[in-house]
A and B are shown apart, each in its own frame.
Chain A
Amino acid sequence: MSRVVTTEIEKGDLGAITDPNATLTSWTSASTDVDEVNIAQEGIEQRNLAVNAVNDNNSSPGTKVIANSGSGTIAAAVATPWQIGGVFLQIGPFAYDSAAPEELIVRFSFEYELEPLDLASFYIYRSTTGAQGIGAFSLIAKTARSVGAGGAVDIDDYTGSTCIAARETAAIASGNIWYCLYAVSNTASNLTIRNVDAYTERIKR
């Protein structure tokens, strides 16, 4: 709204007697644009707001063992989607609009078990279609995390746990999106993933 001004009238100032009307008319036209100039410092409280600071959460726990394809490397685009009951571990859909003042953080935490000398890598992928195909998904850049024994050290199966967190930085105009966890194992052995918890956090900026 910005600052409002009044036109003062003086006694005997007959020519300006309509000025009060002009003042009120200008205030009326500006009343839809009340902004920080008009609001007192710390003048608004929660009940005045029609928006939540945290907008949405989704969670999908589960356990699934997969047998890997036995080929490929961490960098190769042969990622095996981690599946639960034949379905991707995916969360969503939910509406997201990067043009709106929102931030989105995606997290997957889980436990893994690898056979000796196995290597595995984990990724978060985004889909704007919900289709269960690698081509329909795009990698959220540089969130791949690798685990494994490697080297010349041969150890028993080992279990670890980790968390992948990514900030969505893509310019997604609008619509529903999904996120899923991909696991890649690059030797001919089994990779077990347990106790997955996945959630997104939509935050009002």
Chain B
Amino acid sequence: MANRYRQVYFEDGDVLDPRDWTRNMAELAAEFNGRLDRDNLDELSVATGRIIPGSFTVVENDERTAVVTLGGTTTVWQDIDSLTIECQVDSVVEAEWGGSIRWEIGANEFQNAGFRVLIAGMESGRSPRYNGIRQWEAPFVLGEASVPAGSHLVVVQSRLYNSDQPTSYDLNIDFGELIAVARQR
């Protein structure tokens, strides 16, 4: 708006033509109808209540309380939790998952489990492997990815590495919470 001008100047002694008046008003109305910008707003003039929720950050979470069991003989990545996050504009999505895992009794150093986070289909973070010699563990995995505007799926997966042992053991995931934060431009 700063570079917009009155269309017609009136000088002392002019005969006012209503069309000139209307032209000025129409110009001003056009500015108010979607062209106000940083030059029309003072510093610190936009307070919290004026901002639509979701303008800066979108946060989603999913708490998984039901036990998820990964069969010991299956050694491919399997989904253990997921959520969808909506990004109005291009964003950076940070996703973290933490949980409690419990190996089947008898698991040993030959059993390992890994975790990874996929954001919009891209592997964005992977945990170290958690060994079966410790029956209980508290894994944590964090990932981030730049994504375009749109709806994106955030998935946590786990897989087992059994090192070709004759006996395989199941892994139970007792608790878990997936949190995803989309930080918008």
Contacts and interface: CB of A to CB of B under 8 A. Distances in A.
Interface of A: 1, 3-6, 8-11, 13, 20, 23, 27, 34, 36-40, 43-45, 47-51, 53, 100-101, 103, 105, 119, 121-122, 141-153, 155, 158, 160, 162-167, 169, 203-205
B56 A53 contact: yes
Interface in B52-76: 52-59, 61, 63-65
A20 B108 CA distance: 85
B145 interface: no
Contact of A143 (B54, B175, B183): B175
Contacts of A141: 63
Contacts of B96: 163, 165
Contacts of A37: 33-34
Interface in B5-43: 17-19, 21-22, 25-26, 29, 32-38, 41-43
Given A6-B22, A11-B17, A38-B33, 15 more contacts: A5-B29, A20-B21, A44-B38, A49-B46, A105-B179, A105-B181, A119-B136, A143-B63, A146-B136, A147-B100, A149-B135, A153-B108, A165-B98, A169-B61, A203-B57
Contact of B133 (A48, A143, A155, A167): A155
Contact of B33 (A3, A8, A47, A51): A3
A48 B42 contact: yes
B36 A38 contact: yes
B93 to A, nearest CB: 14
A3 B106 CA distance: 71
Given A44-B46, A153-B135, A205-B55, A145 B32 contact: no
Contact of A144 (B137, B140, B175): B175
Nearest to A23: B25
A46 B56 CA distance: 12
Interface residues of B, number: 60
B105 interface: yes
12 contacts: A10-B18, A20-B21, A43-B36, A48-B41, A48-B46, A105-B179, A145-B100, A150-B102, A151-B105, A160-B138, A162-B139, A204-B56
Contacts of B42: 48
B48 A51 contact: yes
Contacts of B53: 101, 205
A144 B34 CA distance: 50
B134 A205 contact: no
B3 interface: no
Contacts of A100: 48
A53 B57 CA distance: 8
B3 to A, nearest CB: 12
Contacts of B174: 146
Interface in B135-185: 135-140, 174-175, 177, 179, 181, 183
Contacts of A23: 25
A45 B107 CA distance: 57
A50 B52 contact: no
A105 B45 CA distance: 28
A205 B19 contact: no
B56 to A, nearest CB: 4
B100 to A, nearest CB: 4
Contact of A6 (B25, B34, B55, B108): B25
